[in-house]
Amino acid sequence: MKISKFFYGFLITALLFASCNKDEELDSIQPESLESTQNVSSKLKPIGSGVMMQAFYWDVPAGGTWWNTIRNKVDDWSNAGIDAIWLPPVSKAQNGPFSMGYDPFDYYDFGEYNQMGSTETRFGSRSELESLISRAHRYDLNVIADIVINHNSGGDLEWNEFAGKNTYTKFTPLSGKFNRTKYDFHPNEQYNSDSGIFGGFPDLSHSKPYVQDWLWKRSNSVAKYYKNTMGFDGWRFDYVKGFEPWVPREWQRNVGGFAVGEYWDGNVNTLNWWVNQAQMSAFDFGCYYKMRDAFMGNNLNALSGDMLWKRNASRAVTFVANHDTDEIINNKLLAYAYILTHEGYPAIFYRDYEEWLSKSKMNNLIWIHNNLAGGSTTNLWTDNDEYIAKRNGGYGKNGLIVYINNSNSWKERWVETNWSSRRIKDYTGNSGWEPVTQGGRWVKIQAPPKGYTVWSLK
């Protein structure tokens, strides 16, 4: 998570220009009836059966067009094997039409109230968001909300005797829901602090019953409103280092759904502690940093290091890049070949898929993940330039062998498979070999320079 500043001198002109462009774009979009967002979960793909799409990047185009941009892609994504889309924070934030949503002000303003400098959010209007969620559901996709509950922004000044100064802790949003004062932030009359603050923003006090009521307990709490009225199916919790793991655990206990936390830490012991305490998934920063070392450092031995998916695969969401960090520049497709053939629930980044990498190769890897990558993982070979691992199969999948070659020349190696006297092929198309495994299950496979192959039964 990060916060950018968008105080431009030409704000009014930009808003008017964006509004005109948006009106023209909307004219070309046919209206569609919004199906009920209730009782759709049984029709959706099970989360984890496919791949998650992070459906945004930092500083996506302003002007209120982003929800329609994503709406027009969900059918193709579903056909490619995506099972869930993760949206940026959907409610009105302090920077209004320029905000990426991580400075939340009114949790119930989805682009319908004229406050914080605009009616719509950076991404669009409430009706456009509802249309996007409805269309995603029709294509069997889950929709994951980005939940920012560590801090708030945009409040008015009030005298705060607990802080000994004036603080921006008076929130009176136009939605009329979840008004907040100095008693709802740290420090207050009962609690001085929690796990951490972010950027000096007012820090919500989750131990206060009033805050708990509005976040997850009330019938119209943020959690229940997002699920039951807006139709969200899962949650991505931002900056969970800022509060104790019981907070997202209680949220999920009240509303259910898939949940993953952003615990930004490469220490796998800490990540594993957090997922067990929170009883939900976490982004596998351990895996991310080991891949960075392997592919940017040109030393695949780093892949032998500790990762969350190796400890607790059912709780690991693996990724190569996201809106906050994108350090794996070289050999990025090799990194995707790694997470899309290994255990854990892989998430792919919008710009990698839509702009920067080969979409056909990404779709091929998604297909391999969804159709072949089953069972436990066995490492077969690792050195500076080569990495070979075996998925042992299960849950209706034959398993696979992935061969990643980070050198500048073709490589070949004998490996032991799980298949005796069976013909195999490379499902990436990078090799034309179709060898038959020996009676003892050994076979020679190959991989191209700076490339990869994925082998399974023909």
Contacts of 208 (CB under 8 A, 6+ apart): 183, 184, 188, 190, 191
CATH superfamily of 377-457: Golgi alpha-mannosidase II (2.60.40.1180)
Res 26 pLDDT > 90: no
Residue whose C-alpha is closest to residue 152's, from 5, 8, 3: 3
Q: Note the pLDDT of residue 9.
A: 35
For residue 251, is pLDDT > 70?
Answer: yes
- pLDDT confidence of residue 42: 58
Task: Please state the length of the chain.
Answer: 458
Q: So what's the pLDDT on residue 301?
A: 98
Would you say residue 161 has pLDDT above 70? yes
* Residue 284 φ then ψ, to 5°: -85, 80
In the chain, what percentage of residues exceed pLDDT 70?
91
Mean predicted confidence (pLDDT) in 139-160: 98
Contact 448, 430 (CB under 8 A): yes
> 21-25: long-range contacts at Cβ-Cβ below 8 A with a sequence spacing of 24 or more?
21/63, 21/65, 22/63, 22/64, 22/65, 25/65, 25/68
- The yes-or-no answer on residue 416 being catalytic is no
Single out the catalytic residue among 128, 146, 233, 262: 262
> Active-site residue among 103, 112, 238, 426?
238
pLDDT one-digit tens code per residue, 189-230: 999 999 989 989 999 999 999 999 999 999 999 999 999 999
What pLDDT is stored for residue 182 in this prediction? 98
- HEC string of 30-60 equals CCCCCCCCCCCHHHCCCCCCCEEEECCCCCC
Tens of pLDDT along 62-94?
Answer: 999 999 999 999 999 999 999 999 999 999 999
Structure confidence at residue 56 (pLDDT) = 98
Level-2 CATH architecture, domain 41-371: Alpha-Beta Barrel (3.20)
Q: What percent of the chain shows pLDDT beyond 90? A: 89
Which pLDDT score, from 0 to 100, does residue 13 have?
37
Least confident of 41-50, 141-150, 240-249: 41-50
| Bridge partners of residue 317, in order along the sequence | 283, 345
Query: What mean pLDDT comes out for the span 125-136?
Result: 98
Token readout for 133 is: 């969620």
User: Residue 240 in contact with residue 262, Cβ under 8 Å?
Assistant: yes
**Catalytic (active site) residue 238:** yes
Mean pLDDT for 361-384 is 98
pLDDT digits (tens, 9 = 90+) for 410-438: 999 999 999 999 999 999 999 999 999 99
Is 213 annotated among the ligand-binding residues?
A: yes
Mean pLDDT (whole number) for 308-332: 97
Annotated binding residue 265: no
Q: What angle do CA 37, 43, 49 make, to 5 degrees?
A: 120
For residues 15 and 70, the model is more confident at 70
Domain boundaries, the chain: 41-371, 377-457
Q: One-letter amino acid identity for 234?
A: G
Does the pLDDT at position 34 exceed 50? no
Ligand-binding annotation for 269, yes or no, is no
Q: Is 361's pLDDT higher than 60?
A: yes
pLDDT, residue 11, reads 35
What is the pLDDT, as a whole number, of residue 16?
A: 36
Is residue 417 a contact partner of residue 443, using CB atoms and an 8 Å limit? Answer: yes
- pLDDT at residue number 270: 98
